[in-house]
Each structure stands twice: as C-alpha cells, then as structure tokens.
Chain A
C-alpha cells in the first residue's frame, strides 16, 4: 500500500512496503541523503528528522507511521539558508567528519525553539540521544548556548 506524506512541504508518495524504515524511503526513494543511518537502533540520533514537528529517529519509524504526516529533513530545514544554530556551529568551527550534524541540527533546532534560554546542563541533556564520535561535544554545546545568548541580546 503506498504511503502519502508531506516531505519538506511537498506532497510525496512512497511505494515501499509500509514497514520500510522511513530513513530508507527518504534516502533511497526520495534521494534525501542528509539523514544518516549510523546505528539503525535508535541510539545515535544521526537519522533524526521532524515528523509533525517532533524530532524522530527515522531508522525506527516504519514509513507507514509517517503516513499523512508532515516530515521535515535537514534539507528542508536548510532550504532558506543557514538557521541560527547552523551559523553558530559553522562560526564555532564545530564540525569535523560531519556525519552526526544533520541529526544534531534537527534536535537542537527543536530544542532551542522550545527552550529559548537553556543553561549548559539542559543543552547537554537535550543531546543525550545524539552521539558525536569526533568533536567531544563542547563546541556543539557552546553553539547552542550562543544561539540562546544571541536571542537575549536581541531582546535587550
């Protein structure tokens, strides 16, 4: 049975078996290779996309579960240039191999939208489901705090 959904604002239909993991539909069928299948068991977060606004590990989500949903991938999030968190990560020289960042950016964008003024521990806790093997996290945490700090500046 085909699955209808909205992907990055566009109506799409997947012809795959309904149990196919969403990440494989996104990558193989729709050629959106930003989300990365790293562990395929829900631990690393590199495959994170937004499903109806919620960060979701697309490796453990059968495509049927995304039926009639609004899916946003890193490609969709970045369609109008860099977001604040992406700019801060770029300026902060945070990126190394880069494989974790599509997922990191999705998680952090959602987190910062819902937690406008987080402290360091809250940022670290928000990243529990997003592993990075390269950077040691510090610059990612700093970038998130810088986005929050920038907002505070803006309000003053």
Chain B
C-alpha cells in the first residue's frame, strides 16, 4: 500500500508557545522541591587535594551534598573517560567538584561558597598544538584503563581517538606526471548553540527509582548514563521530557541530570537544577574547534587522482561526541566528489578545556568549509571555473565514496542545475559603492543518523490514535507535523486526531534520540510500521463485518469502505469500537534500525559508521559585499537547493532551512569563542557571544529537490539538520571571491577581514600536522591487532 503523507499541516504546539502556556522544564516545579547548585573548578588542570563539604552540609536549609564518592561510575560514547565529578584530577575550568541541594537557591549558593577546596595546579594543555607536543602533560594519564567500545580506533596519550580511511594508492596518484598538487590548511573556532532554554532538570526518587524530567534530545542516553555514573541498574531510571526550548545538538549528551538524581535520592525530595547562562557558556558542549590539512593531486581536466587530509578535532577534556565524529570526516571531507585514491586521518585530541559535543551537522560544517575552499583553490590552480570543476567531479550514480560505498542516483549534478535556475531568477546585486562584491556556489554531503527506534500506535475507539515513542519535540516540529502526518495518512484519519505522547522511557521502547536528521526518518519508519500494523488489523476486522476481503477495502477520510462508488462501510471509529469489544483494543508496534550499506573491505579503521545509509546533499549559493574600511561582510542574498527525498511538509522544511542557514551565517561571520591561556572561555553571555539578529539576515530562497533515492520511509530524508551544512563554506568562498584573498579561518569577523585585506593575515601554518601523512598516525592504517 502506498501512503501519501504530504500535507501542509500546522503544528499544534504553536498556540501554547505563542501564549506563554507551554511548560518547558525550566517552568516546572514539584511540591517541596529543593534547589540544587554545582560547584565547579576554576583551574584548567590540577590535582584535587580536598573537597571538604562538612561546613556546607551544616548550613541552614541544606538538605543534601554530593561528591565524587557518590558517583563511582564512568561514561562515554566511545571511551568511558567521563566521571561525573573530577576524580582526583581537575581537567578543565568548569569541571564539577560537588553538588548541593537546599530549600532555596540562595541557600544552595551559600553552601557552595562554604565548600573548602584545595587544588594543586598542574601544567595544562589548552590548544591541540600543546596537547600534541612531545612530552606534553597528559589530560588522562590513565587513558589505557578506560573501557572502550570495540571498534578499533587507535589511542595514545592525548590522542583520544584516531580514525583512518585508505582507499587506493595515494602515493602513486601524487606521483603521476599529469597532476597538479594543491595543498590547503584551515582552522575554525568553536560554536555555541545558545539554545534559549538552558539545560534544566527536575528529579525525584520514588519507589526505589529515579524519575528525571529533563530538557534533552536523548532520553535513553540520560537513562543509561545516569545509571552508569551512579552505579545503579538502568531499569531504575525513568526519563520524561517536556517540550524542549531549543537544542541543536547541545542536548544530545548527558548533562546535569545525574546531579539532580543523586541529590533527590539523598534528600528524599524533588530537586530542581537549572544552569545559569554563565554555566551554559562555560560547559557548552560546543561545536569543536578544528585544524585541517588537505592535499589533492588533480589533472588539468579536473580529475581528482588522489586526495589526503589530516583533521584535528579538539574534544576538550572528555572524548564525548568527538570520538564518534571522527567517523564523519570520511563522509564529509571525503564526500561531494569522485576521488581516485584517498586517505584520511582524523584525530580527536584531549585538551584541558571544556568538553565539546554535537551541534547541527557537527564537523560536517567545517569539513565542508575546508573542502569547498580547497576546491576553489584547485580550480584556481588548474585554471578552471569553480562551478565547472564541481559539475565535472561531483558524485553521481555508481560512483565510489571515500570508504568505497557505491552512491546511487545522480543527485548533486541536477541540483547544481537547479541552483543555476534559481540564481537566474534574481539579478546580481553589484553596485558601485566601493565595496568588494563576490559570490560562490558550494556543494555538501551529509547523512541521516539512522539507528534503533521504536513506536507503538494505539487505535482508540473514538477514532483517534495515540502514537507512543521516545521522540522529543525540540522545536523542529517533527513530533508535531511529520510523525502525526505519517500515522494519519496510514490510518486514513486526520493528523489532528493523532495524539503524540511525550517521551517517557517507561512507556516507549529504545530510541537513539532526536538529532542527526533521524527523527522523521527513523522514528518515522517505526511509526509507519506501527500504523501499518494497526491498519492491517482494522482492515481484517472490517472485512469480516462487510463480508469482503481486506483487499477490497479502502481506508481514507475517517472511513473504511468497499472500494467503488457508493461502497458500503463504516467510520474508522465504529470499526475500532467494534473491534475493541470483539477482540480487545487494537494496537500495533513498529521498529526500525539502520540497514547497513556496505563499504569496501579494509578501507576504514576506527569508524562507527563505515558507509552512510541515507546520504543528504545540499547546494548553497550566496552573494556578499565586503566593506574595505570596516571589514564588515554583508550577505546580500542566499539560496539553497536541498535534497529532501520527499517533502512531507514543505512549510516545516522551509522553516528549518531559514533557521539553519541563519545559524550558519552566525558561524561564518561573527559567532566567536576564544579560550585564554589559562583555559577560560572568554564569552560568558549574549553580550560577548554575538548571534544573528533580525537586522542581520536575509530571506533564504529555497528549492526542495525531490526524488533522490532514499532508504527512509516513504522516500524521505531528514531535512532539519542539513541546512547549516555549507553556510560557512559558501560565505567563505564568496568572501575569497570578493577579496581575492585566501580565506583559511572562520569566523570572518571584521578584524579578520581587515587583516586579510591589508595582507596582514599570515598564511596558516599547522606545524603539529606532519607533512608526510604516515607521520601523523599512531599506528599504520589497518585493523587493531
């Protein structure tokens, strides 16, 4: 049966959000609730000599105090290197030392002030160059003792994880007589999500179980990580999630939940913990800073005979998401183009800085920046038009990706044509006002992070259906639009009549979480399967009532009828009610996980995903004007052609594209994070960290490209994550085009632009990346032995 779930359905949560009725986690309270606070280290590196809480515990109103002794466990996505409190060693400014719960927030703060702490300072490594220097102090001296997921990344000292790709003979490609070798270096800073709702939690301990109400994207990660930290069975942790006030990847990892849980257990009371904006800034789980060397051997015809790259990602004091993300170099920096031979090394590097994390399209954003600027430098080196070079070399049907996976369908090339048509609709902006004008078109490759999802659909006797999943509404609208549309279309009812249960790990099955564009695809696949299960049961029962076979029936517009004019039938509510009486309530379950597209044997080492199930492509284009006197870059217009597979809700996707592009403009131009020599993050709020304002932005022109192959349900792909992917790249290429200068770093703040224009920006040297590829590796590419 084919389901047509395409609708322009408006989100049901808008009204409450517009009238201030929505109750986010920060708006929640419980009777007798205590207020918690966390004491954090003020030095980047040191030996923890004492944390004495005895005076604090005796203060009025203080109900519970927790320290490292209460949380013996470790957790980590790839390597279990994260303890809840500093474990004898302090590794970053902001690392938790103790937590308290008191009757009032003021009493909790007073208790923090009364905790006596002694830290013996140790030398710190604040940059990746320092961390990789010979004899550098180790952020994790005991790195060899940590539990590791068995996927074979190389590790040693401050290299938390190293992933490699080798396909073909790269040395031979570089030695070819007919190639030009082009080498580029790039560096990017961190990006802060600035989600409006800070991380917040209300925890209870009841009937020997924790109940954690939290602002997260990953209820099951919270469940499992809390259990790991506290050393209790995961089944003792229940996680529920109210509407989330913005996330963008920030809330894709465990945060402050275990503190509140621990204090709730100790005090026997409900405990609320909310990060201040300063704490949010300090412990952001940023998009990481990175340094990249990329080198290509290219013929005069634009054929890329060989490519090699080394990517250094700063993971901060814990490996966290970066360990997983080393995988994504292969599919982003190694994406977009047909490559003869390729080798890539990605190293997640420990530093004594706050841990980094996930942020919308993660390292894809800066890898695309590096790849697209490099592509423009190649075009200049071989004297080819940059667009022509892209047209000739983008991945097409049957081409091999970096890891040897075979791509299906011609997608990027027709998308480039569509962009040309979109651009032709507007006239170029150039006026003679003394500014420098430039434009650029870039391409990008991202993916949908598939993986396990579960769904249950209960058919109610009143004709409505209840969808139960662990999905979370973080603002993207997937829970409000995409998922109810899929269920409604399958069951022939209105999307308004699909009730969507908020995430509760006690009610729904496991789910990886909301992020990576997976919500409408993975949860969508599970929801579709569950709804189809219900549909089949209802049709079978209705067929008996109507003395027909299920194949004779149509299920649409709230009715099940015999096909054909004036077909006899019933409302779905009637069928559901009768079925409930005769058989018991009708429900269905569905599950989905990744299918597993193969890579080429032997190509990858240390990867979590060898090949991508659902690639997503994007083509972006913009024009900029650069002010020579102020260094200000104005983005004049912006265009996106995005591969969406099939657009279930064009309005919802359009909103994601506008929002994602604008976040990317902030990243490209003015969102800057700097860390001082002592390991302090300098930006502490909205005043110092400059996000885009209404006056900064342009309306994005959008063309949705449909019909590319997709393993997603109903042919869809995730659409909310990818819009940010090539914004940094496109703005950087346009600025290089306007100024004729080599753009090697983001963000392009006015001071950086001015020094570029004045020729004061030195060529970016990365001495801690070795010139010979092999000298960068902990061990030669290959399986762990």
- Chain A residues packing against B (C-beta within 8 Å): 27, 32-41, 43-44, 46, 73-75, 78, 82, 86, 89-91, 93-102, 105, 123-125, 127-128, 130-141
Chain A residues with Cβ below 8 Å from B246 are: 96-97, 99, 133-134
Q: Contacts of B658 on A, CB cut-off 8 Å?
A: 135-139
Residues of A within 8 A of B476 (CB): 96
B655 close to A139 (CB less than 8 A): yes
CB proximity of B136 to chain A, nearest CB, Å: 36
Q: A96-B655, A131-B686 are in contact. Are A74 and B20 (CB under 8 A)?
A: yes
- Taking CB atoms, residues of chain B closer than 8 Å to A98 are 13-14, 16-18, 22, 243, 245, 475
Per-residue interface assignment for chain B, residues 655 to 690, with 1 indicating a CB less than 8 Å from any chain A CB and 0 otherwise: 100111111000000000000000000000111000
Contact A78 B659 (CB under 8 A): no
The reply to whether the CB of B695 lies closer than 8 angstroms to some CB of chain A is yes
Residues of B within 8 A of A78 (CB): 18-20
B477: interface (CB < 8 Å): yes
Q: List 5 A-B contacts (CB under 8 A).
A: A44-B196, A44-B686, A75-B19, A96-B246, A127-B694
The CB with the most chain A CB atoms within 10 A, among B19, B194, B246, is that of: B19
Assess the B694–A141 pair: CB atoms within 8 A: yes
CA distance A107 to B248 in the complex (A): 26
Q: Is B10 located at the chain interface by the 8 A CB criterion?
A: yes
Chain B residues with CB under 8 Å of A95's CB are 11, 13-14, 17-18
Complex CA gap A37/B659 in Å reads 22
Residues of chain A lying within 8 A (CB to CB) of residue B570? none
B693 at the interface (CB under 8 A from A): yes
CB proximity of B103 to chain A, nearest CB, Å: 13
Nearest to A125 among chain B residues (CB) is B695
Say whether chain A's binding surface is mostly helix, strand, loop, or mixed. Answer: loop
Q: Which residue of B lies closest to A121 (CB)?
A: B695
Using known A-B contacts A44-B196, A74-B19, A101-B18, determine if residue A140 contacts B694 with beta carbons closer than 8 Å: yes
Contact of A93 among B10, B15, B19, B194 (CB under 8 A): B10
Write the nearest CB–CB distance from A111 to chain B, whole angstroms: 12
Q: What 10 A-B pairs come out closest when comparing CB atoms?
A: A34-B20, A98-B17, A97-B475, A136-B662, A99-B196, A74-B20, A127-B694, A78-B19, A43-B686, A136-B658
Q: A4 CB to closest chain B CB, in angstroms? A: 23
**B454 part of interface (Cβ distance < 8 Å):** no
Inter-chain contacts of B124 with A (CB < 8 A): none
* B474 CB-CB contact with A under 8 Å: yes
6 more A-B residue pairs beyond the given contacts A133-B691, A134-B246, with a C-beta to C-beta distance below 8 A? A40-B276, A78-B19, A82-B15, A95-B17, A133-B246, A139-B658
Nearest chain B residue, comparing its CB with the CB of A89: B18
Does A82 contact B652, Cβ atoms closer than 8 Å?
Answer: no
Rounded to whole angstroms, the CA-CA distance of A50 and B54 in the bound complex is 46
User: A93 → chain B, closest Cβ, in Å?
Assistant: 5
The docked-state distance in angstroms from the alpha carbon of A23 to that of B660 is 30
C-alpha gap A36/B23 in the complex (Å): 11
Residue of A nearest to B652 (CB): A93
B19 → A minimal CB distance (Å): 4
In the docked arrangement, what's the CA distance between A6 and B13, Å? Answer: 29
Interface residues of B, Cβ cutoff 8 Å to A: 10-11, 13-24, 26-27, 193-197, 243-248, 276-277, 474-477, 651-652, 654-655, 658-663, 685-687, 691-695, 697, 699-700
Residues in B with CB closer than 8 Å to A134 are: 196, 246, 475, 659
- Are A136 and B13 interface neighbours, CB within 8 A? no
Which residues of B lie under 8 Å from residue A44 when comparing CB positions?
196, 686
B650, closest chain A residue (CB): A93
Residue of A nearest to B665 (CB): A136
Question: What is the CB-to-nearest-CB distance from A101 to chain B, in angstroms, rounded to a whole number?
Answer: 5
Contact of B21 among A34, A39, A46, A89 (CB under 8 A): A34
Report how far A98 CA is from B473 CA in the complex, Å: 11
A139 to B10 CA separation, bound complex (whole angstroms):
14
Residues of B within 8 A of A133 (CB): 193-196, 246, 248, 663, 691
Contact status B655-A94, CB under 8 Å: yes
**Chain B residues within 8 Å of A123, by CB:** 694
Give chain B residues whose Cβ lies under 8 Å from the Cβ of A140: 694
Which residues on the A side are within 8 Å of B659 (C-beta)?
96, 134-136
Q: How far is the CA of A124 from the CA of B699 in the complex (A)?
A: 12
Taken together as a complex, chains A and B put the C-alpha atoms of A43 and B700 apart, in Å, by 25
CB neighbours of B197 from chain A (8 A): 36, 38, 97, 99
Cβ contacts under 8 Å, B13 to chain A:
95, 98
A5 to chain B, nearest CB (A): 18
Given that A44-B686, A89-B14, A134-B475 are known contacts, is A38 also in contact with B277, CB under 8 Å in the complex? Answer: yes
Q: In the bound complex, do residue A138 and residue B700 qualify as a contact, i.e. CB atoms below 8 Å apart? A: yes
Contact A96 B477 (CB under 8 A): yes
Q: Which residues of B contact A125 (CB under 8 A)?
A: 695
| Contact of A33 with B19 at beta-carbon distance under 8 Å, contacts A97-B246, A99-B246 already known | no
Please name all residues of chain A whose beta carbon is closer than 8 Å to the beta carbon of B695 when the two chains form the complex: 124-125, 127-128
CB-defined contacts of A135 to chain B, threshold 8 Å: 655, 658-659, 662
CB distance from A60 to the nearest CB of B (A): 12
Which of chain B's residues has its CB closest to A139's CB? Answer: B655
Kindly state the separation between the CA atoms of A137 and B687 in the bound complex, as whole angstroms.
19
Contact check, B11 vs A93: say whether CB atoms are below 8 A apart: yes
Instruction: Give the Cβ gap from B761 to chain A, nearest Cβ, in Å.
Output: 30
Give chain B nearest CB distance to A126 CB in angstroms: 8
For A132, the chain B residues whose CB sits under 8 A away are 694
Q: Which residue of B lies closest to A141 (CB)?
A: B694
- For the complex, give the distance between the alpha carbons of A44 and B658 in Å: 20
Distance of A138 Cα from B651 Cα, bound (Å): 13
Partner pick for A34 among B19, B651, B693, CB 8 A cutoff: B19
Q: How far is the CA of A38 from the CA of B685 in the complex (A)?
A: 10
A90 to B193, CA, bound (A): 25
What is the chain A residue whose CB lies nearest that of B9? A93
Q: Give the residue name and chain of the A residue nearest to B695 (CB).
A: A124
| Min distance, Cβ A109 to any Cβ of chain B, angstroms | 11
Q: Which B-chain residue is minimally distant from A140 (CB atoms)?
A: B694
Contact with A131, one of B19, B660, B693 (Cβ below 8 angstroms): B693
B19, A136: Cβ atoms closer than 8 Å: no
Q: How far is the CA of A37 from the CA of B245 in the complex (A)?
A: 12
Bound complex: CA A44 to CA B654 (Å):
24
Q: Specify which chain A residues have a CB less than 8 angstroms from the CB of B276 in the assembled complex.
A: 40
Query: Residues of A contacting B20 with CB < 8 Å?
Result: 32-35, 73-75, 78, 102
Quick check: A97 and B10 within 8 Å, CB to CB? no
CA distance A83 to B360 in the complex (A): 34
Nearest residue in B to A104 (C-beta to C-beta)?
B18
B649 to chain A, nearest CB (A): 9
Which of chain A's residues have a CB closer than 8 A to the CB of B248? 133
> Would you call A137 and B651 a contact (CB within 8 A)?
no
Q: How far is the CB of B352 from chain A (nearest CB, A)?
A: 28
Report A67 CB to chain B, min CB distance, Å: 22
Task: State A133–B250 Cα separation when bound (angstroms).
Answer: 13
A35 to B26, CA, bound (A): 11
Q: Which residue of chain A has its CB nearest to the CB of B248?
A: A133
Once the chains bind, are A46 and B196 in contact (CB under 8 Å)? yes
State the CA gap A36–B24 with chains docked (Å).
10
A99 to B686, CA, bound (A): 15
Rounded to whole angstroms, the CA-CA distance of A5 and B36 in the bound complex is 31
Q: Please measure, in the bound complex, the distance between the C-alpha atom of A36 and the C-alpha atom of B195, giving whole angstroms.
A: 13
Known: A99-B197, A133-B195, A137-B662. A39 touches B18 (CB 8 A): no
Residues of A within 8 A of B692 (CB): 136-137
CA distance A75 to B27 in the complex (A): 14
> In this complex, what residue of A is CB-closest to B24?
A99
Q: Which of A43, A91, A100, A130 has the most CB of B within 10 A?
A: A43
Report whether B694 and A36 are in contact in the complex, using a CB–CB cutoff of 8 Å. Answer: no
Distance of A78 Cα from B14 Cα, bound (Å): 13
Instruction: Tell whether, in the assembled complex, residue B694 and residue A38 are in contact, meaning their CB atoms are under 8 Å apart.
Output: no
**Closest chain B residue to A76, Cβ basis:** B20
Contact call A90/B10, Cβ cutoff below 8 A: yes
Q: A40, B277: Cβ atoms under 8 Å?
A: yes
A134 to B474, CA, bound (A): 10
